[in-house]
Structure 1
Amino acid sequence: MLPGYESREIAASLSERPLPPHDVFSYPLVETWRDRIWRMLGDFITEEVKAEFVRHPPEYVVSDDLSWLDNLINDVTGEITDIKALTADRLREEYRAFRAGHATRTNDLAQFYHNGLKVLNAAEVEDRARSIFLNGQFKYVTEQRLQDAIDEIDARDPAGGREGRLYYCAREEELFSRAGGAGHYLTYGSEYLYCLGIRVASSLETKKVLTGIGSPTMFVCDIPMIMIQSGTLEEFGGSILEYLFCELVDELEAHAFSPGAGSALSLTQNLPAECIVGHYHPATIHDPLRFA
């Protein structure tokens, strides 16, 4: 790692960090938002609504379809609402930013603290693949093989979810834990670069060369709410409400924070450098592609 920005390194453990500012939403820190969300939605989710839920819990309390809650609100208060959309709107009103982690490999922090985090530019990654795999080190790698790999993956296809996207996790541990299953970003860096590599060279060769580049680095970011799509906030709103209501009844268990539940989100814009809170280098990383 090149010297510099040592003062921006933060603790890997949430319990060892200062709490985020009051206007920053941190999904895994339930204690910072539990009461606040109840108050935020109190005009629709009244004490009577909660009491009726406790008396007669729905058969299915799920985050993706909140019709169970819309119906409950209507039965108790007479109000008709789309509580998931309402929650997303109010999260945007209540909080300035959404905290999440972005995982990568680098030996130069300056490029991030100067220029921010950038969405995938497929051409740039392909040129990087050329510099890594077409430098004579790999006997059977050719430009044609690389072009065939580019065509096969088709990163520019809007349905592919690669070009012009930048991915984060609201629960950082998903990016290095076994349960999260996303440790390959810290282990090998760019997923697109890895996918190109294993198509032009062997899996073993690709892993060896990519793990020799940079160090596993997690950037903790406060993403402005205006940059997050409404659908994404609705998904998190559903998970929040599922969790809160399941807390009301001992026999219910929320899926939202269970291992493997997922908390990924993506942006279609570059994240400005001033939105990076800090970074750390995870000491232990589970590689889901270890035996691939």
Structure 2
Amino acid sequence: MLLNIQLCAPSHGCRTIDASVYFREGLRLHDRGEMTARRAIIEKNTDLHWTRNRVEEAIREVGNTLDEGRLYVVADDTSLLKYAAHYLIYGSEWMTAVLSDPARNVLKTIGAPTLLEIDLPLSMSSFRTRKELAIKMLNEWTRFACNKPDWSAPIDFSFCLRSSIPACCIVGHSHPAELRDPLDGRGLYRSPVTVCDHCG
């Protein structure tokens, strides 16, 4: 019997003021130009005005084009929430790097930690990505089948897409109230905001 799985239900972590943008526009690939334009956040927040004189230099220093044209999602949000919650706490990793550590407290005040739920046709991913996901799923099955139930090997269920996710694939969202912050020694972060404008 051939198992034919055509749909995956991954998640994506971010921080947003209004999740409706994802339901209208979908989830776009990382675009360095678009991210650079977000430096307007500095003018909107007086607590970030001190970064004005250094932001252009910081953008050059960060200079990371690794994520350009890519989009990361996770097949199991457990590892995202447990080990990589900084995406939900601060938002864009690139923006966090550009604005530097002192700006993190400001980034935590913009929007709400958000976990997007996606129904993703696997045909949108490359063969390489599907193979990578299949290997991870086989590893997880092996863990359940062969190991004691109380032992858990950390498996990274993240995978990379090289095409944007259309709005019709965004099927839900939530706002976790408590997260472990990997940029703050895994300290407990309690979000003062657990709704966005889309929630009403």
Instruction: Give the TM bin, normalised by the shorter chain.
Output: 0.7 to 0.9
Shift of the 147–246 alpha-carbon distance from structure 1 to 2, 3 Å rule, reads: closer
Amino acid at match of 1:123: G
Q: What whole-Å deviation, never above 9, does each CA across 1:45-96 have from its counterpart, x for those lacking one? A: xxxxxxxxxxxxxxxxxxxxxxxxxxxxxxxxxxxxxxxxxxxxx6xxx122
1:264 aligns with 2:153: no
- C-alpha deviation, 1:225, in angstroms: 1.1
Structure 2: distance between partners of 1:124 and 1:244: 39
Shift of the 246–267 alpha-carbon distance from structure 1 to 2, 3 Å rule, reads: closer
Structure 1: distance between partners of 2:144 and 2:45: 57
Q: In proportion to residue count, which structure has more strand?
A: 2
TM-score (norm 2): 0.81
2:134 equivalent in structure 1: 237
Structure 2: distance between partners of 1:114 and 1:291: 36
Decide whether the 8 Å contact of 2:117 with 2:171 is kept in 1. yes
Mapping 1:1-292, distance limit 5 Å? 39-40=1-2, 94-132=4-42, 137-138=47-48, 140-143=50-53, 145-156=54-65, 160=66, 162-177=67-82, 181-198=83-100, 203-204=101-102, 206-245=103-142, 252-253=146-147, 258-291=152-185
Decide whether the 8 Å contact of 1:104 with 1:185 is kept in 2. yes
Task: Report the identity percentage.
Answer: 30
In structure 2, list runs of 5 or more residues that go unmatched. Answer: 187-200
Structure 2: distance between partners of 1:246 and 1:284: 28
1:83 equivalent in structure 2: none
In structure 1, list runs of 5 or more residues that go unmatched. Answer: 1-38, 41-89
Shift of the 242–135 alpha-carbon distance from structure 1 to 2, 3 Å rule, reads: closer
Decide whether the 8 Å contact of 1:103 with 1:219 is kept in 2. yes
Shift of the 115–184 alpha-carbon distance from structure 1 to 2, 3 Å rule, reads: same
Q: What whole-Å deviation, never above 9, does each CA across 1:124-161 have from its counterpart, x for those lacking one? A: 22221243268654464234x222222222233xxx1x
Compare relative contact order (CA 8 Å, sep 6+) and give the higher one, 1 or 2. 2
Shift of the 215–243 alpha-carbon distance from structure 1 to 2, 3 Å rule, reads: closer
Shift of the 137–227 alpha-carbon distance from structure 1 to 2, 3 Å rule, reads: same
Q: Secondary structure of 2:38's partner?
A: helix
Amino acid at match of 1:187: I
Amino acid at match of 1:103: G
TM-score (norm 1): 0.57
Q: Secondary structure of 2:30's partner?
A: coil
- C-alpha deviation, 1:243, in angstroms: 4.2
Amino acid at match of 1:197: L
- C-alpha deviation, 1:114, in angstroms: 0.7
Q: Secondary structure of 1:289's partner?
A: helix
Decide whether the 8 Å contact of 2:19 with 2:173 is kept in 1. no
